Amino acid sequence: MPANRFNGFTDYGIGVGLRIPHYQHILEKKPVVGWFEIISENYMVDGGRPLAILDQILEQYKVVQHGVSAYFGSAEPLNRDHLRRLKALVKRTKTPWLTDHLCWGSVDGRYSHDLLPMPYTFEAAKVTARKVREAREYLEVPIAVENVSSYAEFHESEMTEWEFLNEVVEDADCGILLDVNNIYVSSRNHSFDPYEYVNSVPPERVAQIHIAGHSRFQKYILDTHDHPVIDPVWKLYEHAIKRVGPTATLLEWDDLIPSFDEVHAEARKAEKYLVAPALVTP
Amino acid sequence: MSLLDLQRQMAADLMRPLAPGDRLNPKTAAAYIKPNDRLTSRERLEIYSKSYWYRLLDSLYEDFPGLRAVVGQRAFGKISQAYLTDRPSRSWTLRNLGSQLEEWLRLYPAYAGARLKPALDMIRLEWAHVEAFDERADAVLGPEDLLELGPAMRIGLQPYVRLIELQYPVDDLRVKVSAASDDHGTASNAVLKRKTGGLVRRISRMKAEHIFLAVHRLDFTVYYRRLEAEEFRLLSGLRAGLPVGEAMEAAIEESPLGVEELRGRVETWFAMWAEMGWLCRWQS
């Protein structure tokens, strides 16, 4: 299952999120890294240092685009300027697949710049799936949607989060970027079984997996990407890999960023789970 | 509640200012957000509200260090919150968050008090800085292209070169602010205190001075270069699409300099602009 139509039939291994504090190290030391994930919006500019650095990275590494502003779940239409710039970047990076979040973030043209949670309704699933399809047709690249961490639930919801995810990806016929840390965080915040979530995801649609660290507060857990991955998340990851097969895996580390070697070493802990897992069915 | 109505409600609630008097009514959040065994509906919504405000305030804080120095941290906080309340982000990228700040402050000058004019200058400079950092760079005109230079020719100016007029020398101040900020990680507290005190004195003594400035980038670093009035006008004319001859006439119209002196300077300017890669093909 590692190579499927949702990740462009690629067989990528372990990747690391490309972050500004690591630019110099990467360009000078040229570490051996499976692939880099970039935040698309950081490079959707007309010129300057971001694109110059990206071009140097592209000369030596495989790059996959991960977006934060498509807002497939917003009730309003896709932003045409965002899409146009995203397509230009897709042509530049030749990303084999593209990911963004299963969330909303804008309404009436006002932007929250956050990954806001969806009400799990059939109407929301329909709107979201339609926008994913529109984006894919325009961008001409496979799209996978990522489950987000959330801190609120809506009275309006008509199904569980994993049922909503399945509803959207089946309707849109798109892939899944399965973030096991986000599943863990939300399971703690909303008191559900994270294994039930993983077991409910259609394995054939998983294009990529995210792992990350988070911060624990007294009454909730926040998805901060500023710590190493904790053991319960590694265990959930192990379970996910057994279920979906060795899948392109990316470590996110966005705040209190340590040295590149430290981040890379943390990502490479995934290796032991990726080597020939015995596939299981729930 | 439809998806659109729910999103409108939640956006309105999380974009409310964080001041104690503006705190959300618990019943409002409870109408659409479930509580759990640890948090009320309002507390769950406030996780998003705090995140929204911290993220956007942080973005302005990073983009406008010079404005912070001019008006002070307290006034800057009030300006940021009032601006974001009045003008929520209308762009998918935080890069554009400060694009309307100058226009907004002109409408609400009381927020800057006695430092309004340098504050407006600093905003103009810092927004030009944002633009110069990542604006497009077109193919540079080489010396061979300039051999054909004639009065009817149109020449373009690189999009990343921003031309601004200032009434105060805020460019000097912004450089000092950046230097003080760079030192923050390495200098001792005593050195930092001395430098910060120096900045405050510099701002309070700042005198009006008419400055013509190019904000540009070289090797991916943004620089400020002061221009002569005629040089500024000539570049502005080229940017506006005037043929070289007309742009030069407009530039020297009110100049006190003699023709010969101007001719020499124009040659020097063109050579320098070409060397810095500022000139490109004109595009309508």
Structure tokens at B190: 């005593």
Q: Report the Cα A274 to chain-centroid distance in Å.
A: 18
A5-274 CATH fold: TIM Barrel (3.20.20)
Of A184-193, B208-217, B275-284, the poorest mean pLDDT is in: B275-284
What 3-state DSSP class applies to A157?
Answer: coil
Structure tokens at B189: 């507290």
Q: Which residues contact B38 (CB under 8 A, 6 or more apart)?
A: A219, A220
Per-residue pLDDT of A156-207, as tens digits, reads 999 999 999 999 999 999 999 999 999 999 999 999 999 999 999 999 999 9
Compute how many other C-beta atoms are within 10 angstroms of the C-beta atom of residue A277.
Answer: 17
Q: Alpha-carbon distance A16 to A2, whole Å?
A: 17
Whether A46 and B44 lie within 8 Å, measured CB to CB: no
Among the partner residues B34, B51, B133, nearest to A114 by beta-carbon distance:
B51
Cα separation values, A17 from A100, A208, A266, B224, Å: 14, 13, 12, 33
Range list of β-strands (E), A10-161: 14-17, 35-39, 63-66, 98-101, 104-107, 110-116, 143-146
Q: Is the pLDDT of residue B266 over 70?
A: yes
Listed by start position, the domains of chain A span 5-274
Whether B55 and A113 lie within 8 Å, measured CB to CB: yes
Res B22: pLDDT: 76
Q: Is the pLDDT of residue B253 over 90?
A: no
Q: Alpha-carbon distance A197 to A102, whole Å?
A: 15
Q: Which residues contact A48 (CB under 8 A, 6 or more apart)?
A: B133, B134, B135, B137, B160, B217, B220
Work out the angle at residue A239's Cα, subtended by the Cα atoms of residues A236 and A245, and round it to the nearest 5 degrees: 130
Encoded amino acid at A72, one letter: F
Per-residue pLDDT of B38-58, as tens digits, reads 999 999 999 999 999 999 999
Structure tokens at A102: 């299963």
pTM for the model stands at 0.93
Res B191: pLDDT: 60
Per-residue pLDDT of A28-48, as tens digits, reads 999 999 999 999 999 999 999
Whether A111 and B91 lie within 8 Å, measured CB to CB: yes
Res A179: pLDDT: 98
Identify the contact set of chain A against chain B, taking CB-CB distances under 8 A.
41, 44-52, 69, 74-76, 79, 81-82, 104, 106-114, 116, 119, 121, 123-124, 127, 151-156, 189-191, 219-220, 222
